[in-house]
Amino acid sequence: MVDKVIQTNTVKIVGKMATDLEFSHEMFGEGFYNFYMDIPRLSEHTDTLPITISERLFVDIDLKPGEDLVIEGQLRSYNRYVDGKNKLILTIFARDLYVPEDEEELESLKKTPNEIFLDGYVCKAPIYRTTPLGREITDLLIAVNRPYNKSDYIPCIAWGRNARFSQTLKVGDHIKLWGRVQSREYQKKKPDGRVENKVAYEVSISKMEHLEENNRDNCEE
């Protein structure tokens, strides 16, 4: 079962630890911690992504901000009740942690610093739009199954040709996609008129494939 899940949701990122470890929770006597990593894009932008890691993965490693790390795992979601509403929270759940041995190895790993593969199902009707500059975008929500009748719900964004294709997808359609996990800053206006700066996490799609097999039941939370 675990092997099947790994094949449907895999993430690999290479970057620097940006914040200290912060205790998150304990499960069956095992402690889990959160921190953020800075992942450079090929452009000058940097994605700052949330990581959740088990204490057993860094028993012999002194993790501290500025450390170069390679994380392999899954992009997971969970709901948090905030201000009377359910909010979808995303985090990269680390299954493996690696510290590059030298600068040469690090530079080689940086050639592909941010990769994700998802195999899942469309959960909401795609939203197609264009930017003021005419760039085509489609927003998707993908459900990826994991054990014990759980699913991760992953916001994704497609561009250009992929955006035009994505707008034709239906709820329940089975797709595979490849891309990167990105952070995006935006502003939200509060009811009292104040503007709040927020950060969204999503998958930017570089390649996708539509499978003939559909299963609408996989989109039920």
Q: Is residue 5 over pLDDT 60? A: no
Q: Mean pLDDT across the stretch 122-133?
A: 94
> How confident is residue 179, by pLDDT bands cut at 50, 70 and 90?
very high
In the CATH scheme, what is the code of domain 2-116? Answer: 2.40.50.140
d(CA 136, CA 159): 6
What pLDDT is stored for residue 215 in this prediction?
60
Q: Is the domain 119-219 a CATH 2.40.50.140 member?
A: yes
What pLDDT is stored for residue 214 in this prediction?
65
**What does pTM read for this prediction?**
0.90
Nearest-CA neighbor of 118 among 36, 199, 206? 206
Q: Is residue 6 over pLDDT 60? A: no
Q: Is residue 220 over pLDDT 60? A: no
Q: Domain ranges for the chain, please list them.
A: 2-116, 119-219
What pLDDT is stored for residue 3 in this prediction?
46
Q: Mean pLDDT across the stretch 152-168?
A: 96
Q: Is residue 129 over pLDDT 50? A: yes
Q: Kindly provide the residue ranges of all beta strands, DSSP E only, lying in the chain, ordered along the sequence.
A: 9-17, 22-27, 30-40, 46-54, 68-82, 85-98, 114-122, 127-130, 136-146, 150-159, 174-189, 195-211
Q: Is residue 217 over pLDDT 90? A: no
Q: Which residues contact 170 (CB under 8 A, 6 or more apart)?
A: 122, 125, 214
Check: CB of residue 193 under 8 Å from CB of residue 152: no
Percent of the chain past pLDDT 70, that is, above it, reads 93
Q: Mean pLDDT across the stretch 116-140?
A: 95
Q: Give me the residues paired with residue 34 across strands.
A: 22, 52
> How confident is residue 192, by pLDDT bands cut at 50, 70 and 90?
confident
Q: Is residue 47 over pLDDT 60? A: yes
User: Whats the size of the chain, residue-wise?
Assistant: 221
CB atoms within 10 A of CB 74: 20
What is the full DSSP assignment across 72-132? EEEEEEEEEEETTEEEEEEEEEEEEEE--SSHHHHHHHTTS-EEEEEEEEE-S--EEEE-T
Q: What is the pLDDT of residues 97-119, one digit of tens each?
A: 999 989 999 999 999 999 999 99
Q: What is the pLDDT of residues 67-94, one digit of tens each?
A: 999 999 999 999 887 777 788 999 999 9
Domain 2-116 and domain 119-219 have a common topology: yes
Check: CB of residue 120 under 8 Å from CB of residue 217: no
Q: Mean pLDDT across the stretch 150-165?
A: 96
